[in-house]
Amino acid sequence: MHVHVHCGHGEAKYWLEPEIDLARNYGLSDKDLSVVRRLIEEHQHEIRRVWQEHYGG
């Protein structure tokens, strides 16, 4: 399970399992990545629920 993050100046992919971890980064600063990770951590239950509803399993 993973999530993609896109913004005007870059994008990133984070694995959600087995734990939240940066998979790839294309142009985001360390500060941006820190903010993204915090948001994923804060909303991980909702992200997982929606992912499972969309993709199943």
pLDDT digits (tens, 9 = 90+) for 1-56: 999 999 989 999 999 999 999 999 999 999 999 999 999 999 999 999 999 999 88
Q: Which residue is associated with the tokens 């199943």?
A: 56
**In the chain, how many domains are there?**
1
pLDDT at residue 13, rounded to an integer: 98
pLDDT at residue 57, rounded to an integer: 66
pLDDT at residue 56, rounded to an integer: 86
Boundaries of domain holding 21: 2-55
The reported pTM is: 0.87
Give the pair of three-digit tokens for residue 14.
């984070």
